[in-house]
Structure 1
Amino acid sequence: MIRYNKNLKSFSRALRKNMTDAELLIWSKIRRKQIKGLQFYRQKVIENYILDFYCPASKLVMEIDGGQHFSEEAIQKDNERDRLLLRHGLKVLRFSNTEVLINIDGVIQTIYEHC
């Protein structure tokens, strides 16, 4: 079992209540086991991070990145986070908000292929 920071639970609950348009769109396509009968969780806490979406059965993490993720500092932090998740045997898929909003079918197909 992967450890998690219990102090982040209330923050993750708040994030679930305030999802971005891109996150809401993806959630509408993956919730209720719509992809290969697999359960996905949103705003899941792992270690000291809150993951946008997580599927434990396929060991898949999906991150939906807004504009703040494209600065040099944010890219470095995201890479550090991805390395930690990889050490736990998790695959990380990253999509931009724009990609989700204009190409949801392609995003869902990519998710399906990685499951």
Structure 2
Amino acid sequence: MTSRHPSRLRPALVGLALIALVFQCWALYSPSAGGSQPFPHADKLVHLLLFGGVAWLFLLAGARRAAALGLSAIHAVVSEIVQWQLIPTRSGSALDLLADFAGIALAWLARSSPPRSVHQPS
């Protein structure tokens, strides 16, 4: 079975991906605590990890690449619009969206690269 055309989904990983998605939604849509960041632009790293992690887990679970990456990208856009328009303590940001897309791209790259072979001495 190849990672490009999995024959079936892996239920445990689908469950883990869904838990990650719930956490992602909680992090994105809960009112902002307004606390200080440990370093400048730490929120961009959080966006990259949230979107990249969820996309990667769905790909690892055997979801179709177009579905996992496409829905992640759509969610990235929707999340920034929702934060900008509907959550008074949040703001949408083009830089956050860029970080979301970077995370999704890294997930795609991580699942697209050929597996490393382990060289065993003869």
| Greater relative CO, 1 or 2 (CA 8 Å, sep 6+) | 2
TM-score, length-normalised on structure 1?
0.29
Larger Rg: 2
More strand by share: 1
TM-score, length-normalised on structure 2?
0.27
